[in-house]
Structure 1
Amino acid sequence: MRDESVPVHPDSDPRHPLVVFGDHRFCAGEALAVQRMAGPHMHSQIELNFVLEGDMTYWFDGRELTIGAGRLSLFWGMIPHQVIDRREGTRFVCLYVPMSVFLGLASLSRFRDAVFRGAMIEALEVRPYDRDIFLRWREELLSGDVGLVEIVRNELTARVLRIERDGWRDLREEGSAIASLGASDSERVEHVERMLRYIAEHALEDISAEDVGRDAGLHPNYAMGIFKRAVGHTINQAIIRHRLDTAQSLLISTDLPITDVAFESGFGSVSRFYEAFAHRFVEKPTTFRKRMRSKSIMPA
């Protein structure tokens, strides 16, 4: 029986996006072969993809992004994503990293902020030995050896630091603000990660910023302050962002009426849903659904 505490690459329920919550451990996807996904999905970890051969196309937060052989990319799994196409024989290494890694590294402030704002990051420098290293990391993570997992944790953290140092670009070409939380602020990092996870697990419910802070054992004002510093936007903005991400997935992968999409996504009223959706995507939900389906971003 599979250990349910270990996050795996989720299969998507065709009716709803599936969110898988891990237990802060690094892990690797078992499959090397890239397959089209049945629909958009979300998960809580940071995902790294190293493409070994071929190329793959993601639908990622409303855009189509293609990643070819020898390229390394990473993104936050809470952004809706779906492999919609791939060249026959495409293979990749898929690794999952706890978001606490990013929250705990002070030097990653701009990089980290871009990730949590929905960037698809591509490393500008990929070395010839990266292929063998990623394959080894995958094998060692899948082995379940605690000692090896800790070594991979340290090595992969260093590789992420090198991405920030050597240069990177956002494939969506979006700007980002700069947020900062010092590496010595380990307790606050833990609080922010707990708040992010609480939002991911409960955003579809009737929750407030106060609820998020309370779950982390913090005064609401203090919680909102450290969250804004670490993530780059407010707790309320994060809740709305998650609800809109869920709405995107439902609009694409289901035939639910717009009213049902609004309530399934956690909005208390259809008017608030329309207002929030139009503010972010600059179009109505019905228009968004038609446009995305005309591009064949549909369940494979």
Structure 2
Amino acid sequence: MDKVAAPVSQDESVPAHPDLDPRHPLVVFGDHRFCAGETLVVQRMPGPHMHSQIELNFLLNGQMTYWFDGRELTIGAGRLCLFWGMVPHQVTDIEKDTRFVCLYVPMSVFLGLANLSQFRDAVFRGAVIEATVIRPFDQDIFLRWREELLQGDEGLTEIVRSELTARVLRIEREGWRDLREHAPAIAGLSSKDSGRAGHVEQMLRFIAEHALEDISVDHVARDVGLHPNYAMNLFKRAVGQTMNQAIARHRLDTARSLLISTDMSITNVAFESGFGSVSRFYEAFTARFGDRPSAFRRRMQAKADARGE
């Protein structure tokens, strides 16, 4: 799974649209593996993309700027950041020859860490977590993890999983900050529910893959074989938001990406993003982003024009 997305959707659950601008596609990866980016060279991306894993970026040299959930964040050499890939993101600017190690970690790794409730909740809520303590040997370790993951050896992959889990625990213990300045709320699985981490990951994946369809809590619960009431409560305890909130967030993130990356009409954006009503779309979009869809598009286009795109 490379950092630079090809200009086509790799997930057939995302509906195609004849107005989709091929120069700036919305890409949703269907890959859920524990893996590493094949290239070290950071490249500017043609449009936003999403994927289900937690993404870790260790910048080896240079500087890169992300468009992340409506904000621009610049990261320099020697910094380590992680975020949930289901929040639309895009590399918009780089210094020449910038290099990084990019790792993709399944959600189950985070759901299984019982002591990370506040940290994990921040990730689920769209934080860009930066480690405030970096060790001199971190660069060599991340390069080794990348090399071993690219070998495709299951035994090595399990070793990397254990070592990377320990590194995440150290980030939580030694200090971290949210580059988007979101105040995290406390959420997480109790010891009684710790064995259900796989179910929560499956629910998150089902929502990520089917949120643009006409789905409900019942559909999500049925997919994991749980009673809807239990599934709802389990999901809320683990993720810190309801299933309906998670579905709505994915739809709104998709809509925002389409507004930025295509010339699709507002009505078509609403329906392509899974909203059954244009008025409901306007209401939900304005409530979350503080702008009507048309005003948001004009503002983003003005920024792109100012950058000479």
Taking structure 2 as the reference length, what is the TM-score of the superposition? 0.91
Residue 19 of structure 1 is matched in structure 2 by 28
Distance 2:2 2:205 in 1: 17
Matched, 1:171 2:199: no
Letter in 1 for 2:26: P
Tell whether 2:295 aligns with 1:287.
yes
Equivalent residue of 1:88, what SS? coil
Cα offset, 1:175, TM superposition: 1.1
Question: Does residue 69 of structure 2 align to residue 61 of structure 1?
Answer: yes
| Contact preservation (8 Å) 2:285, 2:291 | yes
Q: Give the C-alpha shift of residue 22 in structure 1.
A: 2.6
Calculate percent identity across the aligned residue pairs. Answer: 72
Q: Identify if the C-alpha distance between structure 1 residues 12 and 160 changes in structure 2 by more than 3 Å, giving closer, same or farther.
A: farther
Distance in 2, matches of 1:37 and 1:59, equals: 10
Partner of 2:198: 190
> 2:48 touches 2:88 (CA, 8 Å); kept in 1?
yes
Q: 1:86 aligns with which of 94, 117, 122?
A: 94
CA distance in 1, matches of 2:108, 2:240: 15
Aligned to 2:280: 272
Q: Structure 1 segments of 4 or more deviating over 3 A?
A: 7-10, 12-16, 182-187, 297-300
Which of residues 123, 131, 134 in structure 1 aligns to 2:131? 123
Letter in 1 for 2:237: R
Aligned partners of 2:220, 2:282: CA distance in 1, in Å?
24
In the other structure, the counterpart of 2:58 is 50
Gaps of 5+ in 2: 9-21
CA distance in 2, matches of 1:299, 1:115: 33
| Distance in 2 between residues matched to 1:202 and 1:16, nearest whole Å | 19
Alignment correspondent of 1:71: 79
Q: Tell me how far 1:185 sits from its aligned partner.
A: 3.5
Aligned to 2:44: 36
Give the root-mean-square deviation of aligned CA atoms.
1.6
SS of residue in 2 equivalent to 1:295:
helix
Deviation at 1:190, TM superposition (A): 1.0
Q: 1:255 deviation in Å? A: 0.5
Shift of 1:21: 2.4
Q: Is the 8 A contact 2:259 2:293 kept in 1?
A: yes
Q: For 2:30, give the aligned amino acid.
A: F
Whole-angstrom CA distance in 1 between matches of 2:215 and 2:179:
32
Map 1:71-220 to 2 at 5 A. 71-182=79-190, 185-220=193-228
For 1:279 and 1:128, locate their aligned partners in 2 and report how far apart those are by CA, in whole Å: 44
Equivalent pair of 2:193/2:234 in contact (CA under 8 Å) = no
Q: Distance in 1 between matches of 2:57 and 2:67?
A: 15
Q: Distance in 2 between matches of 1:174 and 1:47?
A: 18
> Separation in 2 of the partners of 1:109 and 1:11?
35
